[in-house]
């Protein structure tokens, strides 16, 4: 007697688990890459801005005591970069400035002029968010009002161009990251929807044998949650490996990726994976629970 083929019955939630996880992992990995790129771009832009120096030139008649008195208000300026919670600045005497300029020109300009026309100065750097045009103007006016300061100098055109370029690049990267986020959400949603499409008859069959809708939702949402967790963990693992490889090729990148930041991104990927998977499954399950038998075909 010929053997009768045996078909294994599908169970609720027994759709291709691995393929769904890999699809969600890929989407989350891409999202993680663009998140890293966006954060790195912001950090690099901030570093470039904070390296822009502002010089406060002093009156030639200022005394040493008045210079010391000038340092006190500088320590109270909240817009100056800080180290150990203290604003940082440096003092450059006109003799030091003349020596540096002579080295750059490879010629002693004081012999030609017969004197040193340079002035004593303080050099400061601002926090990144104070390089906006309106903020920078307020800072400049505030510094010019300091006793003994005769001029505030910095590359104005460079500061303006730098601020505009950073704003443009940030907008482009943010828009692209937002676009990719939407693509990721749609991709994960469609992946879950297609996976549950193969379960529609099982969902209806369990309804016919008096299984509660809440039970079916619970089983499928539990599966979706685990898919989100596994996908997020895998995506973070791939992302960590990618960053480790990039840092091995360019060591300067290590300063941009502190462990705390990477852990936050990893937890976010897991959370996003779970959230989108559960919501997509919930919508799909409710859809199939509400369909008539004819609509399932």
Contact 52, 220 (CB under 8 A): no
Q: What is the predicted pLDDT for the residue at 130? A: 85
State the chain's mean pLDDT as an integer: 79
Six-digit token string for 235: 């995506």
pTM given for the model: 0.68
Residue 212: strand, helix, or coil: coil
> Is residue 13 over pLDDT 50?
no
Any idea which residue has 């604003």 for tokens?
87
pLDDT in tens, 204-254: 555 555 545 565 667 778 888 888 899 999 999 999 999 999 888 888 787
- How far is 128 from 45, CA to CA, in rounded Å? 9
> Is residue 288 over pLDDT 90?
no
> Is residue 157 over pLDDT 60?
yes
| pLDDT: which is higher, 191 or 90 | 90
Mean pLDDT along residues 254-268: 88
Q: What is the predicted pLDDT for the residue at 16? A: 60
Domains and CATH numbers, the chain: 17-46+163-296 (no CATH), 53-154 (3.30.70.3040)
pLDDT in tens, 29-63: 988 988 888 888 888 888 888 888 888 988 888 88
Burial of residue 184 (CB within 10 Å: 0-12, 13-18, 19+) is buried
- How far is 63 from 60, CA to CA, in rounded Å? 8
Q: What is the predicted pLDDT for the residue at 270? A: 93
* Residue 63: CB atoms within 10 Å: 10
- How far is 265 from 251, CA to CA, in rounded Å? 21
Mean pLDDT along residues 83-105: 79
> Is residue 132 over pLDDT 60?
yes
Q: What is the predicted pLDDT for the residue at 229? A: 92
Written as one string, the DSSP assignment of 209-265 is: TT--HHHHHHHHHHHHHHHHHHHHHHHHHHHHHHHHHHHHH-GGGGGG--HHHHHHH
Q: What is the predicted pLDDT for the residue at 239? A: 93
| pLDDT: which is higher, 192 or 53 | 53
pLDDT in tens, 160-178: 888 888 888 888 888 888 8
| pLDDT: which is higher, 244 or 291 | 244
| pLDDT: which is higher, 237 or 66 | 237
Q: What is the predicted pLDDT for the residue at 8? A: 43
Q: What is the predicted pLDDT for the residue at 186? A: 84
Mean pLDDT along residues 114-136: 83
Q: Could you tell me which residues come within 8 angstroms of residue 38 by beta carbon, excluding any fewer than 6 positions away? A: 173, 174, 177
């Amino acid at each position: 007697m010929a053997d009768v083929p045996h078909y294994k019955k599908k169970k609720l939630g027994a759709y291709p688990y691995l393929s769904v996880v890999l699809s969600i992992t890929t989407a989350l990995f891409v999202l993680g890459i663009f998140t890293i790129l966006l954060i790195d771009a912001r950090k690099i832009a901030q570093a470039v801005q904070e390296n822009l120096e502002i010089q406060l030139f002093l009156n030639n008649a200022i005394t040493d005591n008045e210079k010391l008195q000038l340092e006190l208000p500088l320590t109270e300026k909240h817009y100056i970069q800080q180290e150990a919670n203290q604003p940082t600045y440096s003092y450059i005497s006109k003799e030091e400035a003349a020596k540096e300029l002579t080295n750059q020109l490879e010629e002693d300009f004081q012999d030609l002029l017969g004197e040193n026309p340079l002035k004593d100065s303080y050099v400061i750097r601002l926090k990144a968010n104070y390089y906006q045009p309106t903020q920078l103007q307020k800072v400049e006016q505030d510094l010019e009002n300091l006793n003994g300061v005769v001029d505030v100098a910095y590359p104005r055109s460079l500061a303006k161009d730098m601020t505009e370029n950073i704003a443009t690049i940030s907008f482009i990267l943010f828009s692209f990251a937002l676009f990719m986020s939407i693509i990721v959400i749609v991709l994960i949603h469609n992946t879950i929807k297609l996976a549950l499409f193969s379960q529609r008859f099982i969902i209806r069959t369990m309804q016919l044998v008096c299984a509660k809708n809440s039970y079916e939702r619970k089983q499928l949402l539990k599966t979706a949650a685990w898919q989100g967790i596994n996908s997020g963990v895998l995506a973070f693992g791939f992302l960590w490996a990618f960053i480790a490889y990039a840092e091995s090729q360019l060591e300067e990148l290590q300063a941009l990726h502190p462990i705390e930041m990477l852990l936050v991104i990893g937890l976010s990927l897991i959370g996003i994976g779970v959230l989108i998977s559960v919501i997509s499954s919930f919508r799909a399950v409710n859809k199939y629970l509400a369909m008539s038998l004819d609509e399932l075909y």
